[in-house]
A and B are shown apart, each in its own frame.
Chain A
Amino acid sequence: MKSWTKRMTPIVGLVTVGALVTACGAGGRPSGGGDAAAVSAPETGITETSVTIGATFPLTGVAAPGYSEIPTGTQAYFDYVNAAGGVHGRQIDYIVRDDGYNPTTTSQVTNEFVFKDGVFAMLSALGTPTHRAVVDFLNGEKVPDLLVASGSRQWGDDPEAKPYTFGWQPDYEIEGKIIGQWVAENMPDAKVGLFLQDDDLGEDSERGLRPYIEDQIVEVQRYTSGNTDVAPQITALEAAGADLVLGFNVPSYTALSQLAAMKLNYDPQWFYANIGSDPALIGSLLSNFSKGAVAATNPLDGALTTEYMPGVDATDNAWVKLWQKVWDEHGEAGELTNYRIFGMSAAYTFVQALQAAGENPTREGIVDALEKMGGAAANPSLAPYRYSVDSHLGISGMRIVEINDGASDPLTPVLVTDLGDSPIEEDGSAADDGPPASGIPESAG
Chain B
Amino acid sequence: MQQLLTTSLAGLTLGMVYAAFALALVLIWRSTRIVNFAQAPMAMITTYIALLIVDAGIPYWIGFVAALLSGLVLGAIIERVFIRPVEGKPEMNAIILTLGLFVVINAVAAIVFGSHYRSFPVPFGLRGFEVGDVTVALTGFDVFSICSVVVVMMLLLALFRYTDVGLKMRASAFNQEVSRMLGVKVTGMLTLGWALAAVVGSLSGLLIAGGDLVYPSYMDSVVVYGFVAAVLGGLDSPVGAVIGGLLLGLGLSVVSGYVGSELVPLAALSILIVVLLVRPSGLFSHATARRV
Residues of A within 8 A of B (CB): 59-62, 64-65, 68, 198, 222-224, 226-233, 235-236, 238-239, 252, 255-256, 259, 262-266, 285-286, 288-291, 293-294
CB distance from B198 to the nearest CB of A (A): 24
B119 in contact with A264 (CB, 8 Å) = no
B211 in contact with A259 (CB, 8 Å) = yes
A-B contact list, 25 entries, CB within 8 Å:
A60-B215, A222-B261, A226-B221, A228-B212, A229-B253, A231-B7, A232-B10, A232-B261, A233-B256, A235-B137, A236-B258, A238-B6, A239-B3, A255-B119, A262-B126, A264-B128, A264-B137, A265-B128, A289-B119, A289-B126, A290-B125, A291-B54, A291-B60, A293-B126, A294-B126
B262 in contact with A68 (CB, 8 Å) = no
Complex CA gap A65/B118 in Å reads: 9
Question: Which B32-83 residues have a C-beta within 8 angstroms of A?
Answer: 54, 60
Given contacts A263-B138, A285-B213, A290-B126, 5 further A-B contacts (CB under 8 A): A232-B254, A232-B257, A262-B128, A289-B122, A290-B122
Complex CA gap A91/B127 in Å reads: 53
Complex CA gap A290/B213 in Å reads: 13
Residues from chain B with Cβ under 8 Å of A265 in the complex: 127-128, 130, 135
**CB-based nearest B residue for A290:** B126
For A230, A239, A252, A263, the residue with the greatest tally of chain B CB atoms inside 10 Å of its CB is A263
Q: Which of B122, B138, B257 contacts A233 (CB 8 A)?
A: B257
A60 in contact with B110 (CB, 8 Å) = yes
B127 in contact with A262 (CB, 8 Å) = yes
A285 in contact with B119 (CB, 8 Å) = yes
**CB-based nearest B residue for A235:** B6
CB distance from B232 to the nearest CB of A (A): 19
B261 in contact with A224 (CB, 8 Å) = yes
Q: Which of A64, A232, A263 contacts B126 (CB 8 A)?
A: A263
Question: Which B210-229 residues have a C-beta within 8 angstroms of A?
Answer: 211-213, 215, 217-218, 221
Query: Is the C-beta of B260 less than 8 angstroms from some C-beta in chain A?
Result: yes
Residues from chain B with Cβ under 8 Å of A198 in the complex: 261-262
Residues from chain A with Cβ under 8 Å of B258 in the complex: 232, 236
Query: Is the C-beta of B2 less than 8 angstroms from some C-beta in chain A?
Result: yes
Closest 9 CB pairs of A and B: A232-B257, A239-B3, A60-B115, A288-B119, A232-B256, A231-B10, A235-B6, A224-B262, A265-B135
Residues from chain B with Cβ under 8 Å of A291 in the complex: 54, 60, 121
Query: Is the C-beta of B28 less than 8 angstroms from some C-beta in chain A?
Result: no
For B14, B119, B212, the residue with the greatest tally of chain A CB atoms inside 10 Å of its CB is B119
A229 in contact with B127 (CB, 8 Å) = no
Q: Which of A235, A252, A293 contacts B7 (CB 8 A)?
A: A235
Question: Which B1-32 residues have a C-beta within 8 angstroms of A?
Answer: 2-3, 6-7, 10, 14
Query: Is the C-beta of B150 less than 8 angstroms from some C-beta in chain A?
Result: no
Complex CA gap A293/B122 in Å reads: 10
Question: Which B247-292 residues have a C-beta within 8 angstroms of A?
Answer: 253-254, 256-258, 260-262, 264-265
A228 in contact with B213 (CB, 8 Å) = yes
A222 in contact with B117 (CB, 8 Å) = no
B213 in contact with A256 (CB, 8 Å) = yes
CB distance from A65 to the nearest CB of B (A): 5
